Amino acid sequence: MNKKSLWKLILILAIPCIIGFMPAPAGLSELAWVLFGIYLAAIVGLVIKPFPEPVVLLIAVAASMVVVGNLSDGAFKTTAVLSGYSSGTTWLVFSAFTLSAAFVTTGLGKRIAYLLIGKIGNTTLGLGYVTVFLDLVLAPATPSNTARAGGIVLPIINSVAVALGSEPEKVRVVSDIT
């Protein structure tokens, strides 16, 4: 581990320690205050990245389990920390973003774009229909609107734009002077 990563790790470990030694604000229990410190450290860890994101989040969940197990007065159990992962909605969003990452990584989005351009994308209106058709076809497979629009349809539409020669770096100037 190099010095830069070590300083990042020290910063992340210092955040919950400092917050843990501060008195809890009015209206918050000691447990809630310490958990705030842990999750604030997790957010900082996701930003400065001393480790990959899954490692940072796993450390935060493990620290939360230890804190809840030791500081709770019987009102919480250790399973309370992991109860959010039993929700079907959590796994639905996770699987939707995993599916969208697979579309981008495998190049399936680009292949779908070329197929649809070849079939109905001869005009601007046809490209609009391609966009609507993509959303219609992908809706049953990706129930999350955010994951579908931002993770799957956007890369496909960007692939369509690049395939047709439209790139943000290139600026075309169209003149009305004849």
Residues 126-171 pLDDT 10s: 888 878 887 887 777 766 777 677 777 777 777 777 777 777 677 6
To the nearest 10 degrees (0 to 180), the angle between helices 124-138 and 154-163 is 150
Q: State yes or no: pLDDT of 175 exceeds 60.
A: no
Side chain identity, residue 40: L
Q: What is the pLDDT of residue 38?
A: 92
Q: State yes or no: pLDDT of 26 exceeds 80.
A: yes
Tokens of 2: 């190099």
Q: How confident is the model at residue 74 (pLDDT cuts 50, 70, 90)?
A: low
Exposure class string for 153-167: b at 16+ Cβ within 10 A, else e? bebbbbbbeeeeeee
* Global pTM value: 0.50
Q: What is the pLDDT of residue 14?
A: 93
| Lowest mean pLDDT across 29-38, 70-79, 105-114, 115-124 | 70-79
Residue tagged 């992340």 (tokens): 12
- The whole-angstrom distance between residue 105's C-alpha and the CA centroid of its chain comes to 16
- Say if CB 151 and CB 97 are below 8 A apart: yes
Q: How confident is the model at residue 37 (pLDDT cuts 50, 70, 90)?
A: very high
CB atoms within 10 A of CB 108: 14
